[in-house]
Chains A and B, each alone.
Chain A
Amino acid sequence: MQTLKYRIIPEGAADGVVPLNWVFLDKKDIDAAGITDRQACELIAKELKDTCAAVNVMDMDGVTVTSDGIMADGAVAAIASVDHGFINHDFGFMPITPLPFTDQMLHDEPHMKQWLEDCYIGRKIYRGPLKEDRGERDSHNESMTLTGRIANNNVGSEAMNMVAMTEILIPFFGMYEVMTGGNVNIGIAGPVVSVGIGMVVSERYGRIFGSANLGAYKAGMTAHNSGKYAKTVKSDYPAIVAPKSVLAEYTLRAMDAGCVAGRDIGCSPAVLRLAQAYGKPIDLDNISKRAWIELESVGITRESLEKTVTPMSREEVIANADKIIPGMEDSKPYAVSDICQIKTLTF
């Protein structure tokens, strides 16, 4: 008899805000059990019996990149959707193959210079699926798994119940907190996060965009491209996010590695306000007109970013992150141990 540990944020967690089950598996635990990632997800499907869940397989020794180009500790190594013991044969599971380092990557994706930093160099990087990872998915399909009612999208950062039509977001640093037993803020994403999600970087095989060709939306652009409607596209959905101090820590690392906001990394409200507070350059001229419309709709104006402010130290920025980073002001803090159960299944 073997065992497999898993973490589950159950439907109804966080005072009822979480609308569906989300399971997190550690690749180390899967490897120790001597099974494949898909087999581990199949075990979760059986374990949960007549319910459904999104499943993320995490490699915490790897690294990944957020949609706005910030490198992070840990990565999503596979995603799955399980419902009533089923995993859809073609669309229910998707591995994420680590990417090789190439000079072309460094040239075309300037935010990837972060990978050369001491804290990241030599570690496997997982972002989005390769062509062979996508299997039967067509070119139009997003990075999504689907089985029955449940969808797990954008490499494990959005999960939906297709029948109840509910949804919850978990930006990567939220996953990091879940895996490390830290703290999270849970609440409605709101307009600032809704806008920020669209401020992506261009990558090949990115977590959200890009395949063999570079994603069309570069740093300084908006993938939403929805004008004043960008602040509404994801604003109503709950989100599980890391404390703002964690987001600040990793974003400052990117800036310390030489990444310029709006040019090498995205122009999300969080990145722009952190760059301003930290006294780091912002490529204001590289931010597109369409992106400015969305930023201004949530109060981030060029004029406000051009204001001279006394730069804070790294420690000061992190300590004041709650004041500096806009968005999710009405969210509630939780210890991960209060919203996430650690369980063990036997097989």
Chain B
Amino acid sequence: MKYMHTKLPDFYSKLVASAKQLNPDTEIEITGLESYKSAKLASLRCGRIEEEIMEVVEDPSVKKVEVIMVPNNPEVTFNSVVKGYRADGSCTKAVIDYLAVSGPTLEYHLIDAEEIVDRRTSRPQY
């Protein structure tokens, strides 16, 4: 069970390895998870993404791969925590509230694709 979720640094290194497996010069850019300093990711899905990278780089014309992580629900509610600190580093107070953050949906990242393959369950094929 300890291997059911992948460490965030391992996720990045696995994706890079997959992209460079056929050609070490292939560039890869992974975006969308920059705010996470630590996280565990569903291993099964990580494996699928590694395989999907392989599928993309098998096309010899591909020189660069982008992996873009977009929240499925485009309106994400965050907890905000406002904290005050004294000079000695001790925390005086924390005020908690909500803040919804909305961003573009995945379609924004699909508009230049010649072919779209949707492997999510119960979703339309674009």
Task: Give chain B residues whose Cβ lies under 8 Å from the Cβ of A92.
Answer: 105, 107
Contact between B74 and A163 (Cβ–Cβ < 8 Å)?
A: no
Task: Give chain B residues whose Cβ lies under 8 Å from the Cβ of A142.
Answer: 75, 100
Among the stretches A147-155, A234-242, A267-275, A280-288, the one at the interface with B is: A147-155
Q: Kindly state whether residue B32 has any CB partner on chain A within 8 Å.
A: no
As a 0/1 sequence over residues 125 to 144 of chain A, the CB contacts with chain B under 8 angstroms (1 = contact) are 00000000000111011101
Contact between A91 and B74 (Cβ–Cβ < 8 Å)?
A: yes
Task: Give chain B residues whose Cβ lies under 8 Å from the Cβ of A250.
Answer: none
Minimal Cβ-Cβ distance residue in A for B103: A162
Minimal Cβ-Cβ distance residue in B for A160: B102
Cα of A84 to Cα of B104 in the assembled complex, Å: 13
Cα of A160 to Cα of B103 in the assembled complex, Å: 10
Contact between A146 and B74 (Cβ–Cβ < 8 Å)?
A: yes
Contact between A83 and B75 (Cβ–Cβ < 8 Å)?
A: no
Minimal Cβ-Cβ distance residue in B for A84: B111
Contact between A84 and B77 (Cβ–Cβ < 8 Å)?
A: no
Contact between B103 and A86 (Cβ–Cβ < 8 Å)?
A: no
In the complex, chain A residues 87-106 whose Cβ is within 8 Å of any chain B Cβ: 88-92
Contact between A151 and B107 (Cβ–Cβ < 8 Å)?
A: no
Cα of A66 to Cα of B124 in the assembled complex, Å: 35
Q: Kindly state whether residue B73 has any CB partner on chain A within 8 Å.
A: yes
As a 0/1 sequence over residues 71 to 88 of chain A, the CB contacts with chain B under 8 angstroms (1 = contact) are 000000000000110101
- Nearest chain A CB to B125 CB, angstrom units: 11
In the complex, chain B residues 18-57 whose Cβ is within 8 Å of any chain A Cβ: none
As a 0/1 sequence over residues 42 to 86 of chain B, the CB contacts with chain A under 8 angstroms (1 = contact) are 000000000000000000000000000000111101000000000
Cα of A189 to Cα of B120 in the assembled complex, Å: 42
Contact between A50 and B111 (Cβ–Cβ < 8 Å)?
A: yes
Q: A89-B123, A91-B73, A137-B73 are in contact. Are A144 and B110 (CB under 8 A)?
A: no
Q: A138-B73, A146-B75 are in contact. Are A162 and B111 (CB under 8 A)?
A: no
Contact between B105 and A140 (Cβ–Cβ < 8 Å)?
A: no
Cα of A20 to Cα of B104 in the assembled complex, Å: 15
DSSP class of B's interface residues: helix, strand, loop or mixed?
A: loop
Cα of A149 to Cα of B106 in the assembled complex, Å: 9
Q: A89-B124, A144-B102 are in contact. Are A149 and B108 (CB under 8 A)?
A: yes
Contact between B107 and A88 (Cβ–Cβ < 8 Å)?
A: yes
The count of residues in chain B whose C-beta lies closer than 8 Å to any C-beta of chain A is 19
The listed residue (A138, A144, A149) touching B104 by CB distance below 8 A is: A149
Q: Kindly state whether residue B126 has any CB partner on chain A within 8 Å.
A: yes
Cα of A91 to Cα of B105 in the assembled complex, Å: 9
Q: A89-B123, A144-B102, A146-B102 are in contact. Are A84 and B107 (CB under 8 A)?
A: yes
Task: Give chain A residues whose Cβ lies under 8 Å from the Cβ of B72.
Answer: 90
Contact between A140 and B75 (Cβ–Cβ < 8 Å)?
A: yes
Q: A86-B110, A86-B126, A89-B123 are in contact. Are A147 and B105 (CB under 8 A)?
A: yes
Interface centre among A86, A88, A90, A137 (most CB of B within 10 A): A86
Task: Give chain A residues whose Cβ lies under 8 Å from the Cβ of B104.
Answer: 146, 148-149, 162-163
Contact between A146 and B105 (Cβ–Cβ < 8 Å)?
A: yes
Cα of A8 to Cα of B100 in the assembled complex, Å: 29
Contact between A148 and B111 (Cβ–Cβ < 8 Å)?
A: yes
Task: Give chain B residues whose Cβ lies under 8 Å from the Cβ of A83.
Answer: 107-108, 111
- Nearest chain B CB to A144 CB, angstrom units: 6
Task: Give chain A residues whose Cβ lies under 8 Å from the Cβ of B106.
Answer: 88
Contact between A136 and B75 (Cβ–Cβ < 8 Å)?
A: no
- Nearest chain A CB to B104 CB, angstrom units: 4
Task: Give chain A residues whose Cβ lies under 8 Å from the Cβ of B107.
Answer: 83-84, 86, 88, 92, 147-148
A-B contact pairs, 15 of them (CB 8 A): A83-B111, A84-B111, A86-B107, A86-B110, A88-B106, A91-B105, A137-B75, A138-B73, A140-B98, A141-B100, A146-B74, A146-B104, A148-B104, A148-B105, A162-B102
Leading 3 A-B pairs by shortest Cβ distance: A148-B107, A140-B77, A86-B107
**Contact surface of B with A, Cβ cutoff 8 Å:** 72-75, 77, 98, 100, 102-108, 110-111, 123-124, 126
